Structure 1
Amino acid sequence: MTLDFLLHLLPHTFVLLWAVAPTLYYVHAQECDLSKGEWVVDDPYYPLYDASRDCPFIVQGFNCLRNGRPDQDYLKYRWKPFACDLPRFDGVKFLETYRGKKIMFVGDSISDNMWQSLACLLHIAVPESNYTFTRLTKHLSIFRFLAYEVSIVWVKDGYLVDTVRDREKGRIIKLDSVSSRYKWNGDVLIFNTYHWWFHTGETPIHFQVGNEIMKDMDNTEAYKTGLTTWSNWIDSNIDPSKTTVIFQGIAAAHSGEKHCLEQTKPEEGPKPTYPGVDIVQNVLSNMKSHVYWLDITLQTQLRIDGHPSVFTGRGTSYEDCSHWCLAGAPDTWNEMLYAVLLGNRYYYHL
């Protein structure tokens, strides 16, 4: 009689499991942290494009193969999160989803790295589709897919707060002012700021709060103040029902004691917390607006092999361990972007 009773319940049990399984999977996938993982070889799927053949518009400094880089293993790596897989980038689906829309990157040359990568990934998906590629000024570049009316824009802005030039003091960063940001508009806004805050050079940098101008302010404290000012501007000026806001995380540089020269393999984790990450976490978590955080720090800490190094086209006396080869690591950032925008079960955010 017990066996008959269990057999009677069996169909109902399957129905129950079928009903809850999608929900269980959804919850599990929502908890996937894309920032924690490892680099694995994925040949022949990677690289996702041939920089010289498929993307003739990549700037010289990012096209490492054209500049003579002899090794190619760095092109074969895919980022594998521990708890899930990144969805494959589907450029046609991306363009169809954002038909008639504008996607704007705002930040320094690391944003340029990611912007050019996205333009490549979309271009190779529709290679016969007409496009325009225009660098209107040194601060504004636009890639437009005419058939889809999709614009991919990069606005060069290394600090995300106002700056002025003074003949005596040099550059003054106004930490509490975002008055000139009327050009920040689009259906998706992807912001980045970090590296310029910690550059050292011959030109002095001063920081200003209110009417007070300071030369000896700690750069880390200045970064926190400036990023907080940006976050307040976003909370006050961006309608989250109309615009998706993303913060492109801190990409690790490898200048210093261990340079990236002749590095051909990724390193292995874990790695110590990178400077500035805690500031980004704190600022984003205290915002009223929902801002997605593309946390790319660990994966870039591991990719000491992914920089142009001396293969920038500027000669062997110049070594670049801050920017990234294309094809390369920035393609993964855009796979993460794709997961956030089109594969919403995969993203991780604060």
Structure 2
Amino acid sequence: MGLRCHFLVSFIFRVILVILFLLEEAKAQQHFYNVSRLRGRKQVSGCNLFQGRWVIDASYPLYDSSGCPFIDAEFDCQKYGRPDTQYLKYSWQPESCNLPRFNGVDFLRRWRGKKIMFVGDSLSLNMWESLSCMIHASVPNAKATSVKQDSLHSVTFEDYGVTLFVYRTPYLVDIVRESVGRVLKLNSIEAGKAWKGMDLLIFNSWHWWTHTGKSQPWDYVSDGSAMYKDMNRLDAFYRGMSTWARWVDLNVDTSKTKVFFQGISPTHYEGREWKQPKNNCNGQAEPLSGSTYPGGAPPAVAVVKKVLSTIKNPVYLLDITTLSQLRKDAHPSTYGGDGSGTDCSHWCLPGLPDTWNQLLYAALIM
């Protein structure tokens, strides 16, 4: 009788454990968000953060541009005369979960004493300035120190010991001045020495790979011992990104450093992509509805995913391309303060990069 009773109690206990485990699993599936760990694996939870739609949200924007000391003129659309404000009032709604609202105080507490670096081109600058403004709005009276030197800018929130860096290097790989001229070296990342010792790295590259003529900052491309006057830019991007992938595997200790790739930020110069062939981003006042972009993904997206699938270390892709493609209304167009014509590449602040940082925050609190 005693043995039978013991068996029954043991069986009931195991059933209770299984039920509790299943309940926790269900709760986790509802609560957490899937930032893809791209090594040919499935997403880490049931909700895709990057599939959804834009909805009007009266609580937006997350900060006022006039109250943020970190915004460059090229992104400060309200200051430089943009007449409409509706573009400021959209939030991203994933299909099957809610995006947590950004909490700057929580962010600073989690990253107390840590160093965060954005590495890449002016889209990295766009995202870095956005995060600096979002945090500043949460702790407006906290002491913040800003430093600019050559390729490296930083903002330190002194009360928490958190420093946000941005390191400008549009190709990730090096450009070196040699006897023949300026050489884009697809196999070299000497600049990577400056990226070591960070607690969080967010990389980005693509836009400058398409530049030609006077805006192209190199004269030759080298790939190992081979030197080219030019080459297919998508192929060059793949080779350069593969060098970066090797750098991540050789130089990043993922027990100490988290690594993200910012994703390919789209442009809106060609209205035919959203079935308005005579238009560009200028004068666009609202996002595209729905969750798909008629023009499809830029070819660089496939290159990024191919490269990320080869990395041994975990690198998380902020897959912001499609949700950003829907925001044809969110560029500075003619309202950037640098007088550079119509800008359909970068993004107004406040604006779309705030959502990129919200997605980054969601990934980090998983």
1:196 matched to 2:204? The reply is no
How far apart, in 2, do the equivalents of 1:219 and 1:79 lie? 32
Count, aligned residues: 329
Taking structure 2 as the reference length, what is the TM-score of the superposition? 0.85
Q: Deviations over 1:83-139 (max 9, x none)?
A: 2111111100110111000000000000000000100111111111111012122x1
1:270 matched to 2:292? The reply is yes
How far apart, in 1, do the equivalents of 2:323 and 2:76 lie? 20
Q: Deviations over 1:44-73 (max 9, x none)?
A: x100001112x0221111110000000000
- State the one-letter code of the partner of 1:123: H
How far apart, in 2, do the equivalents of 1:255 and 1:314 lie? 18
- Look up the match of 1:21: 23
- Look up the match of 2:4: none
- State the one-letter code of the partner of 2:53: E
Choose which of 216, 221, 225 in structure 1 pairs with 2:230: 216
Q: What SS does structure 1 have at the residue aligned with 2:102? A: coil
- Look up the match of 1:125: 138
Q: Where does 1:125-274 land on structure 2 (aligned, <5 Å)?
A: 125-137=138-150, 139-165=151-177, 169=181, 171-185=182-196, 186-202=198-214, 205=218, 206-257=220-271, 258-268=279-289, 269-271=291-293, 272-274=296-298
* Contiguous gaps of at least 5 residues in structure 1: 1-11, 345-350
- Look up the match of 1:305: 329
- Look up the match of 2:345: 322
- Look up the match of 1:287: 311
Choose which of 23, 28, 31 in structure 1 pairs with 2:46: 31
- State the one-letter code of the partner of 1:24: A
How far apart, in 2, do the equivalents of 1:99 and 1:175 lie? 36
Q: What SS does structure 2 have at the residue aligned with 1:323? A: coil
1:31 shift after superposition? 2.4
More divergent stretch after superposition (221-230 vs 260-269): 260-269
Q: What SS does structure 2 have at the residue aligned with 1:181? A: helix
Taking structure 1 as the reference length, what is the TM-score of the superposition? 0.89
1:176 shift after superposition? 1.1
1:330 shift after superposition? 0.2
Q: What SS does structure 2 have at the residue aligned with 1:306? A: coil
How far apart, in 1, do the equivalents of 2:257 and 2:130 lie? 22
How far apart, in 2, do the equivalents of 1:304 and 1:275 lie? 19
How far apart, in 2, do the equivalents of 1:296 and 1:193 lie? 13
* Contiguous gaps of at least 5 residues in structure 2: 1-13, 33-44, 272-278
User: Closer, same or farther in 2 for the Cα pair 1:13/1:240, shift >3 Å?
Assistant: closer
Q: Deviations over 1:295-331 (max 9, x none)?
A: 110011110100000001244x711000000000000
1:36 shift after superposition? 1.1
The question of whether the paired residues in 1 share the 8 Å contact of 2:61 and 2:351 is answered with yes
Choose which of 51, 56, 62 in structure 1 pairs with 2:65: 51
Choose which of 44, 54, 75 in structure 1 pairs with 2:88: 75
- Look up the match of 2:11: none
How far apart, in 1, do the equivalents of 2:188 and 2:332 lie? 35
